Amino acid sequence: MSVTRERILELGENLIRTKGYNAFSYQDISSELGIKNAAVHYYFPSKENLGTSIVKTNILRFEEMTDNMRTRKFDEWQQLETFVKVYIKSNREQKKCLVGSLSPDYVTLSDTTKSELKRMIDIILRWLTGLLESGKEKGMFDFKDDSSSKAFTILTSLVASLQLFGIVDGMDYKIYCQSILDDLKP
């Protein structure tokens, strides 16, 4: 794969995760990479195409992470902590996560981007639900709700906390994430 293509993907993702989908333009990308606007269209004919590709890339990255944890036989706590660390890194870089960046703009996205985003959220929730379920069975986690509700609560907490931490001050993100994890301790 072309290095320029990968740079566009990476920069596009960063732009979505800082400015949002509807606030970034092909000019933002081309000027940053020192190429012309038409060069971006050469790799990604439309913004819809670029957006969809970015989501697809993120799905693959997530699946690589979970596959990797499974082959390395991470237990439920280790897997959850690894997952949370992704958000801690995002917060350190002053970025939102892709789900938290695109979801509020859902109605303005094209059908293909919509369905990839939906797929991404489904994949994350399915993984997290399974993790909570098996962790609960083993007595590693304790919570009242059913696993899919709890998965949804944890995901929404992480997603929106990245959005709000860029605004409110006087809070420590790591400590906040730790409280999410502590809440699951038996």
- Provide the binding-site residues for DNA, judged by CB under 7 A: 2, 4, 24-28, 34-39, 41-42, 45-48
| Residue 166 found at the interface with a copy of itself (CB under 8 A) | yes
Distance, CA of 116 to CA of 87 (rounded, Å): 21
According to DSSP H, which parts of the chain are helical? 3-18, 26-33, 37-43, 47-71, 76-92, 98-102, 111-137, 147-165, 173-182
DSSP type of residue 104:
G
| Residue 54 found at the interface with a copy of itself (CB under 8 A) | no
Contact, 162 vs 100, CB < 8 A?
Answer: yes
Pick the closer one to a copy of itself by CB: 43 or 101.
Answer: 101
Which of DNA, a copy of itself, none does 28 bind, CB closer than 5 to 8 A by kind?
DNA
Pick the closer one to a copy of itself by CB: 69 or 159.
Answer: 159
Q: Closest approach of Cβ 102 to DNA, in Å?
A: 15
Residue 165 DSSP SS3: helix
Which of DNA, a copy of itself, none does 58 bind, CB closer than 5 to 8 A by kind?
none
Pick the closer one to a copy of itself by CB: 8 or 124.
Answer: 124
